Chains A and B, each alone.
Chain A
Amino acid sequence: MSGLATPIIMGFLLGGLYALIALGLSLVFGVMKLINLAHGDLVLLSTYTAYVVMTKLGLDPLLSLVFSIPLLFVIGFVLQRYVLKRASLISMEAPLIITFGLSLVLQNLFQIIWSPMSRGLQASYATSSFGLFGASVPLVYLFDFVIALVVMLFLHLFLQHTYLGKAINAASQDRRAAQLMGIDTNHVYALAFAIALTTAAVAGVFLGLTFPFTPQSGVSFLIIAFGVIIIGGLGSMLGTFIGGIILGLAQTLGGHFFGAAAQMLVVYGIVLFVLAIRPKGIFGR
């Protein structure tokens, strides 16, 4: 039994990180109906920012959020307001292709600046472990989970209870009607994108504390984020959370039973299974 406790607890906690990575992707899709193919790479931009803060300034990687949150907020706002918005006038696909291009640019930029080598963020708390039900779990997994809960709670409260949050909600339900209410939908969309990338900034630092990363890591985390959304269903914060946990468990339990080489296969298998039996996701509307 104690043999299973470790993968179950780790998978569960890891799910928090996966949900956090998927959160921004889900928000952007939910509000703007846009798939941001650069989402994983933008998450990674925050990871590399933390890497620079750690190596060049000698500070705790978490402090990098002071830079990366505003940085990604501005990138999100400008990208949506001045690039994707204009591209959307050309065709439905144009913004999607632009995000794909941005993904390639970022990957290569990471490679040029930081080389293809695998890197990691180090902090004292990132290497220590704690015991639970006879399992030994890295402390950072617990941080991942708690921070994911906090970010989701904040986002939920923001969307449900602030004027701007409600406007984002309204614009995602019916853009035309929102315009007729006097909501500047272009501005609201840009802010929604900016907020989504703020969650990506937080995800990036915790990702770097949890896993080693390379310039290509963004793509694998984009795929995980897709999986989370497919399982949980779009437009549901709870769904994203549960989706993350299912994926986390699939990965650790898959690794436990079939070996590390097969763990992602189990993850993709579950994603395919959900797509086949319930395409809108478990909590999808």
Chain B
Amino acid sequence: MAQETLLEVREVDVFYGGIQALWDVGLQVREGEIVALIGANGSGKSTLLDAISGLIRPAKGKIYFQGEDITDLDPFKIVSLGVSQVPEGRRIFPELSVLDNLMLGSYNRSARPKKGQNLEMVYELFPVLKERRKQTAKTLSGGQQQMLALGRGLMSSPKLMLIDEMSLGLAPIVINEVYKALREMRQKGITILFVEQSVRRSLDEADRAYIMEAGRIVLQGNSQDLCEEEEVKKAYFGICD
């Protein structure tokens, strides 16, 4: 199967205030892949996701989705093209019910007709959200909030899910659950680019990975190759046995 390039980030520079946060960043995600974006705090991973989502404008470079230039599109338009971001820190709407949170995920016009169908898919993936659909979102546990954030992201009928800090602050058992959901999403034809600090886990779960450092992509490749890469071994000692 010839995999088509779904997302292409080309030579992107981003400035925050006067400070350069991304330097000449390039990245590709092909249809059906699970790709990990790995790096320490402040290495620019979230900035890159925000640039893709249209929340910040690159000073230089281009971003293409399905061949279309989305560099200067408004965030809501990028969502309606099929790029959904699950932001760092979940950012659920605390005062709204679980169901309302999910429904807002389908706000864009292209997803609205499919919201019933999407809701069923989300409930199937995370049955706990169905049980708690009437609860105020802030009453959920951290793990359930991450499931809600993922579910809400799925409600927009995405082709590509950008997931920031996939497992930060979650209990190991919950981490297993969200990664299981990730694999099930892929089964349903959704391509995934996720950010993770834990190198070991990311390389286990992803087909390919990009490693970022100080706003630059410093390494990329298949997960298996990266594991054997001398530099990764050095930087992240003993991660792949």
Interface residues, chain A, with chain B CB atoms under 8 Å away: 163, 166-167, 169-170, 173-174, 176-186
**28 sample A-B contacts, Cβ–Cβ < 8 Å, listed by A number:** A163-B103, A166-B96, A166-B104, A167-B104, A167-B107, A170-B104, A173-B95, A176-B55, A176-B87, A176-B91, A177-B93, A179-B75, A180-B75, A180-B87, A181-B104, A181-B105, A181-B152, A181-B156, A182-B76, A182-B80, A182-B105, A182-B111, A182-B156, A183-B76, A183-B104, A183-B107, A183-B108, A184-B76
Which parts of B180-200 form the interface with A (CB within 8 Å)? none
In the complex, the chain A residue whose C-beta lies closest to that of B100 is A166
Size range of the chain B interface in the assembly:
20 to 34
Q: Are B79 and A182 in contact (CB under 8 A)?
A: yes
For B152, list chain A residues within 8 Å (CB): 181
For B54, list chain A residues within 8 Å (CB): 179
Q: Are B93 and A174 in contact (CB under 8 A)?
A: yes
The digit string for B146-168, where 1 denotes a CB below 8 A from any CB of A, is 00000011001000000000000
A138 to B111 CA separation, bound complex (whole angstroms): 53
For B111, list chain A residues within 8 Å (CB): 182
10 tightest A-B CB contacts, nearest first: A182-B108, A182-B79, A177-B91, A179-B75, A184-B76, A173-B93, A182-B76, A180-B85, A170-B93, A181-B104
A125 to B104 CA separation, bound complex (whole angstroms): 45
Q: Are B103 and A173 in contact (CB under 8 A)?
A: no
B97 nearest CB across to chain A (Å): 10
Which parts of B44-95 form the interface with A (CB within 8 Å)? 53-55, 74-76, 79-80, 84-85, 87, 91-95
For A170, list chain B residues within 8 Å (CB): 93, 96, 104
A53 nearest CB across to chain B (Å): 39
* Cβ 8 A contact of B95, one of A169, A176, A182, A184: A169
For A185, list chain B residues within 8 Å (CB): 76
For B53, list chain A residues within 8 Å (CB): 179-180
For B80, list chain A residues within 8 Å (CB): 182
Q: Are A184 and B74 in contact (CB under 8 A)?
A: yes
For A182, list chain B residues within 8 Å (CB): 75-76, 79-80, 105, 107-108, 111, 156
For A181, list chain B residues within 8 Å (CB): 79, 104-105, 107-108, 152, 156
